[in-house]
Amino acid sequence: MSALARPTLLLRIYGGLATALAPLAYTRIKTKLRSHSIDPERFSERMGHPGLPRPAGRLIWFHAASVGESLSVLRLIEEMGSALPDVHFLLTSGTATSAEIVARRLPTRTQHQFAPLDSARAMARFLNHWRPDAGVFVESELWPNMLRSAAARGVPLALINARISDRSARNWTRAAGTARSLMGLFRMIHTQDARTERHLRGLGLKHAKMGQNLKSFAAPLPVDENALSAMQGGLSHRPLWVFSSSHPGEEEIALRAHAALLAAHPDLLLILVPRHPERGGNIARLIADRGMQTARRSLGAMPGAEEAVFLADTLGETGLWYRLSPIVCLGGSFTPVGGHNPYEPAHCGAAILHGPLYANFIGVYAELHRAKAAMEVQDAGALAQAVGRLLSSADALKNLQSASTSFAAIQADALGHMARDLCAALELAPPP
């Protein structure tokens, strides 16, 4: 399936425009990276200039979009690294946040670089330096110039954890020839749900096959044990719950629910974890407008008896909040974001609540519900009722926590199968 077909007219037009507009895109990207205090010497990685030397021997390139996708492949890289001890790994991603977080968690023999922009010149520089022996793309990171440039050099490619929404599928159908030309470059297409498999097979990609959601393989989020101990000591006298990965519009839902809960649980603390910590200032003002006092993690504050909300506006500490609290409500599910990864709080043993909008994880949540390992709530009122029941019933809380923990443990068993399938498709045999 990986033969490089003549590009369609749409791909040729796109290729020319992407290359021509790359300098303009690079100017905007530099501004974003600078705002995250990224070392300016790394900016040129986005134009394909290497920031690190290429290690000797075989190199497998993994490409992911952002934080969630990057973190989801780390355990897979570890598994493949154990089977292929002579292989090094390169992980590319496009965002500053992903670079900051994965830098602390890279497996052995793994390096991170910012992904090159999707221009012919940037890709040529990137491939000339790194010369990958195989390329693995995650979810929906399908950059035409990137894929075609790699395939033209004979790099075997795989797509894992593919996810295509119904809307995207309709758009692909309007350009079916382009879709087949691009997706046909992959020797292996692993989808995270039956819907995506059905869409891709409908386009003629008969080698698309559903498998385990890659995010189920993610290791438990890291936790600073000293920070956890300090938090547990400082908050041991208070009941608490977490609203995590909140997006605009969801903080209001969390705060309305919390206000209702305080009537019956006046000492209750809400740990509010925004998906994007840079929104912390605006969220702090929103909390104040609601008449609640707050302490901000980014300012080094600890909540005292008078604070009803602890604003956890920092990066890389989500595992701390999941370990600290027995109850976690996952955001991105009350506004049309598509939901967030429920395996992370499940690995930490939290009772999981979520809203009704989780299109990106529809298969996962269906399995969670069948296992009675999560509860769906519709709005702030229902959220307050659900948290209230769990706070009032130790048995109900323990049962939901136990179910989510068991669910996470069962899902991880398929990691070895995924690694073996990937090695076979990419013809990556162990050293003799």
* Alpha helix ranges (H) inside 161-279: 166-174, 176-183, 194-202, 225-235, 250-262
| pLDDT beyond 60 at 324 | yes
Reading across the β-sheet that carries 327-330, which strands appear in turn? Answer: 294-296, 309-311, 269-274, 240-246, 327-330, 351-354, 374-376
Say how many residues make up the chain. Answer: 432
How far out from the chain centre does Cα 397 lie?
27
Q: What are phi and psi of 362, to 5 degrees?
A: -60, -40
Domain segments of the chain: what residues? 9-211, 225-412
51 vs 65, which has greater pLDDT? Answer: 51
Over the stretch 386-396, which tens digit does the pLDDT of each residue have?
999 999 999 99
Task: Give the number of other Cβ atoms within 10 Å of residue 250's Cβ.
Answer: 23
Determine the pLDDT at residue 360: 83
Q: Region 390-417: what's the mean pLDDT? A: 89
Distances from the Cα of 330 to the Cαs of 240, 256, 365, 384, in angstroms? 15, 16, 12, 14
In tens, the pLDDT along 263-312 reads 999 999 999 999 999 999 999 999 999 999 999 999 999 999 899 999 99
CB 115 within 8 A of CB 92: yes
pLDDT value of residue 363: 82
Give the lowest-confidence range in 22-26, 88-92, 389-393.
22-26
Structural tokens at position 125? 């520089």
What was the pLDDT predicted at 432? Answer: 67
User: Based on C-alpha coordinates, what's the Rg of the chain?
Assistant: 23
Q: Hey, is 177 helix, strand or coil?
A: helix
Q: Has residue 318 got a pLDDT over 60?
A: yes
HEC sequence for 280-334: HHHHHHHHHHCCCCEEEHHHCCCCCCCCCEEECCCCCCHHHHHHHCCEEEECCCC
CATH number of 225-412: 3.40.50.2000
Residue 3 has pLDDT above 60, yes or no: no
> Tell me, what's the pLDDT at 112?
96
User: Whole-angstrom Cα distance, residue 313 to residue 260?
Assistant: 23
pLDDT at 328: 98
User: Residue 331 pLDDT more than 90?
Assistant: yes
The predicted structure's pLDDT at residue 106: 93
> Per-residue pLDDT averaged across 53-74, rounded?
90
Model pTM score = 0.74
* Band of pLDDT at residue 430, cut at 50, 70 and 90: confident
The domain 9-211 having CATH identifier 3.40.50.11720: the answer here is yes
Contacts of 333 (CB under 8 A, 6+ apart): 339, 340, 354, 355, 356, 357, 358
Q: Average model confidence (pLDDT) for the chain?
A: 92
What are the tens digits of pLDDT across the range 215-264?
Answer: 777 778 889 999 999 999 999 889 999 999 999 999 999 999 999 999 99
Q: Which is nearest to 326 in space by CA: 262, 257, 389, 409?
A: 389
- Please report which confidence band the pLDDT of residue 413 belongs to, taking 50, 70 and 90 as the band edges: low
The tokens of 235 are what? Answer: 């908050």
The three-state secondary structure class of 423 is helix
Do 331 and 243 form a contact (C-beta atoms < 8 A)?
yes
Please work out, in degrees rounded to the nearest 5, the angle formed at the alpha carbon of residue 178 by the alpha carbons of 193 and 72: 35
Average pLDDT estimate for 139-149:
90
Residue 1: pLDDT over 80: no
The set of residues, in sequence order, having a beta carbon less than 8 Å from that of 164 and lying 6+ positions away, is: 140, 172, 195, 196, 199, 200
Q: Does this chain's domain 9-211 share its CATH topology with 225-412? A: yes
